[in-house]
Amino acid sequence: MDQINIGMIGGGTVGSGVFHALQQNADLMAARIGLRLGIGKVAVKAFDEPRPYPISPSVLTLNWHEVVEDPAVQVVIELVGGTGIARTMILAALERGKPVVTANKALLSAHGPELFAAARKFGTNLYYEASVAGGIPIIKVVRESLVGNRIDRIYGIVNGTCNYILTRMKREGAAFADVLADAQRLGYAEADPTLDIDGHDAAHKTGILASLAHGFWVNHDDIHVEGIRQLTPLDIRFATQLGYTIKLLGIVKTVPPTGRAGKKPSPAANRISVSVGPTLVPDHHVLASVNDVFNAVFISGSPIGDTLYYGRGAGKDATASAVLSDLADAALDLRHGTPQRVPAFVPHVTKGRVIPLAETSSRFYLRLDVMDRPGVIAKISAILSTGGISISSIIQPEGHEGETVPVILMTHTANRAAMDRCCAAIAKIPAVKGPSRLLPVEDFD
């Protein structure tokens, strides 16, 4: 049986997980694809760095050039992360005509077009199933399985750290800081959790899915990003009372061209909205039940309708599963001389753009802290009415002690820019104290 020789850069938690998984399932994969996959060299930061699984000392090196430049290495796996040296490593491999498997969503988000162009130029390919939603094969689904579908909406719970924190906050009524500390202790959150809890990791992944679904590369700076750092148990509790669960959602939607509501947008002038932020999800919707570190991606398209993809979104084992899938594809493409059989990315929309959040519309949850005085609610209602925003319900719970009481308003569908203007005006009312909390409500229609 022919063997494909693999070199890997990065031998930490994820890298050792890939090495271990390939050792465990090498015979199974060989039987399924008719090729044997073997890792011949692994570049690491230090020979003695801690790893959950051992890597054979005979394959270790401290020099990544020995992996990329070795003529015997046919496929390169990059598991270093970051947007600096990883870019140099991948470009060096592609320039030598070697296919690259990566889990680096931040790098793809920042430099995807450059890397894809290099793969095309040098007649090879870039595989990145592990970059989004861990073990869920969502890249293959969007790029291949749904190739005949016009994708209208994508909703993704794609950050396990945030989902774990929000699950615990709802289940236990715990404060954000307490659950985050626990998540760090358990290894679900990094020592510096900024990338996760401020929404940027989810934005990288959401941008990749948006790009694949809509045919033009989405610039990370065009994505509206909010994290979960400011959420309180009070917001979680009130959302629950209203029949909702708060989830950090990555949302991608097609937006009909202005003045042509009800008509399908032309593929040559695709307008989409792309955002990441805490969102109220109806408890009856399937995404509301995705808990703990699990991920899920909900896709609605034509002709397929609604579909859901669920599984573990991070960790060495889930990532290893996705990397092995890409290795199998890369090996088969090499065997059959079709390295660009499924190109890493196919731009097919010339005038696509991401519209600003201000141009989008949704229903909203608005929490205010107000002094309990006559006429305050009337002033708030008047400002919203003047802004063209209709209130669907108001809750002012009794029994709160202190100078202020919370007031929760649910609106009908409203323009985001109008809502922001109203919130700014409401904040100037002397009886309104402290920052407000504005969250979109998703109806999935």
- Residues that are catalytic: 205
How far is CA 343 from its chain centroid?
A: 21
DSSP letter, residue 195: H
Sequence-separated (6 or more) residues with CB below 8 Å from residue 386: 422
Q: What Cα–Cα distance (Å) separates residue 392 from each residue in 44, 381, 389, 427?
A: 57, 11, 10, 20
Count of CB atoms situated within 10 Å of the CB of 186:
10
In b/e form, how buried is each residue of 56-92, taking b as 16+ CB within 10 angstroms?
eeebebeebeebbebeebbbbbbbbbeeeebbebbbb
Q: Confirm if 11 and 43 have CB atoms less than 8 A apart.
A: yes
What gap in Å lies between CA 171 and CA 373, rounded to an integer? 34
What is the phi/psi pair of residue 104, to 5°? Answer: -90, 85
Tokens read off for 413? 């569908």
Q: Where do runs of H (alpha helix) occur along 40-104? A: 65-68, 85-95
Q: Which amino acid is at 380?
A: I
Count of CB atoms situated within 10 Å of the CB of 49:
11
How is 374-389 classified by DSSP, letter by letter? TTHHHHHHHHHHHTT-
393: exposed, middle or buried (C-beta count within 10 Å: 0-12, 13-18, 19+)? exposed
Q: Confirm if 332 and 140 have CB atoms less than 8 A apart.
A: no
Strand partners, 298: 155, 308
What gap in Å lies between CA 226 and CA 197, rounded to an integer? 9
Count of CB atoms situated within 10 Å of the CB of 45:
11
β-pair type (391-395, 224-225): unpaired
